Structures are given as C-alpha cells and as structure tokens.
Chains A and B, each alone.
Chain A
C-alpha cells in the first residue's frame, strides 16, 4: 500500500516569512495529492490539491509543487499570518483506490 512521509513535524516561522512543508510518497501510481489544515478542535479543511498531470498549483498565498520522478510534493505558504498557525497534513490517493493515505502532520506556528 501507499506510505506518505511528512517533514518537518514542527515548524515555527516569523510572521511574514514563508513556510515550506514536504512530503514523499511511495507508490508511483498515486495520482491525487491534497493538503489539509486542521485547527484545534476542528476537522481537517482542504486548502489545496494537485493531480499528477500538473507540476504546480497556486491559490493566493498557498502553492503546491509536485515532482513525480522523485515522488515528492511540497506546500508553500508565503507572507505567513497568525491565522496560518495550525496542523497541516499532506495525503496521497492511489489510482483505482478510494482511500487517502495521510502524512503524520506538521504543526506550524507563526510567531508575531
């Protein structure tokens, strides 16, 4: 089955700086890679996703890049704000499968 590794487990950045979270996946047949943000006491919220036929996707301050050859994908948050503080999860979905395999999460803290 698919295995997703996520780094770092914790990340602190100054407000206004950029944050990068990286994930690697094991199965080259995975074709869908979403990122979720989870705030305390809430369910995961889909913030951006990318499919295997695309190398990069951007939505305002958030971008995701995918390197299929190396089997890794990254989340980039620019101009970070205090409300970006949360736990972020990457995930991968295997083609023909229905289940998301999640990374272990990154706790992002934005320092005012």
Chain B
C-alpha cells in the first residue's frame, strides 16, 4: 500500500458526460501527479500540482482539467467524454516538487460507452 488513495475504483459512463476523479496524496506529500494508462499509449503524464499550484503540464487534453485543494487532495475532471478516454487514471504523489520518488495510487478505471 503506497498511502495514495483514489476514488472511485471503477467508473462507467456514456460519451459526452463529465466525471471527476479524486486523489488523496500520502501524508506529508505536497506534489500530486496525474497519469493516464491505455493499451496503445502506455503511461502518459497529464499534469502536476505542487502545494495547490499547477507545476507542469503534459499531454493533457483541453477537455480535461485538474486542481489541488488546500488540504492537498486533487481532482481530475474529464468532460465531453469520448470512447478513446477509456483508460486507467493514476494519481501519484511525492514529497517535494523536484526529481524524487513518486508513489502511485491504485488507479481509477474509466470506461466510456
């Protein structure tokens, strides 16, 4: 158990809908990272927040957004969902904002029908 929690574990929704994925980092970690894992794209970095502020952006679509709250939990919002958005979404956390160990949560499996 990494100490990173994610909810929900599974999510099934229809195209065009909007969903919110939630992540709580390990106690004491200030950085939260979001990754998408799909069969054809592998593990792709989406976005990082550090202590409430956006720190880095990866291959995140404009339909996706995220935020980190004062209690350091983070939410990833996915809107206008398409079939291709079906994937595993992982959250990871680390202590600082620089290069260091990132610990992954168990993930949310999103299925768009």
Residue numbers of A with Cβ under 8 A of B are: 31-32, 34, 36, 42-46, 49, 51, 89, 93, 95, 97-105
Determine whether the beta carbon of B99 is less than 8 Å from that of A95.
yes
Contact A99 B56 (CB under 8 A): yes
Chain A binder among B11-19, B62-70, B71-79, B104-112: B104-112
B interface, size bucket: 20 to 34
- Contact indicator B48/A99 (Cβ below 8 Å): yes
Nearest CB in chain B: distance from A3 CB, A: 12
Residues of chain B with a CB closer than 8 A to A100's CB = 33, 45, 102
B49 to chain A, nearest CB (A): 10
**Number of inter-chain CB pairs below 8 Å:** 55
With A32-B99, A101-B45 already in contact, the answer to whether A43 and B55 are too (CB < 8 A) is: no
Residues of chain B in range 63-104 having any CB-CB distance to chain A below 8 Å: 90, 97-104
Picked from A89, A98, A105, the residue with its CB within 8 Å of the CB of B55 is A98
Q: Which residues of B contact A (CB under 8 A)?
A: 2, 4, 31, 33, 42-45, 48, 50, 55-56, 58, 90, 97-107
> B residues within 8 A CB of A97?
56
The A interface is mostly helix, strand or loop, or mixed, namely strand
**Given A43-B104, A43-B107, A44-B90, A105 and B45 contact (CB-CB distance below 8 Å):** no
Closest Cβ–Cβ distance, residue A17 to chain B (whole Å): 27
Determine the distance from Cα of A42 to Cα of B6 in the docked complex, in whole angstroms. 12
- 18 A–B pairs (Cβ distance < 8 Å), ordered by A: A31-B99, A32-B100, A34-B101, A36-B104, A43-B2, A51-B99, A89-B43, A97-B56, A98-B31, A98-B99, A99-B45, A100-B33, A100-B102, A101-B45, A102-B42, A103-B42, A104-B42, A105-B42
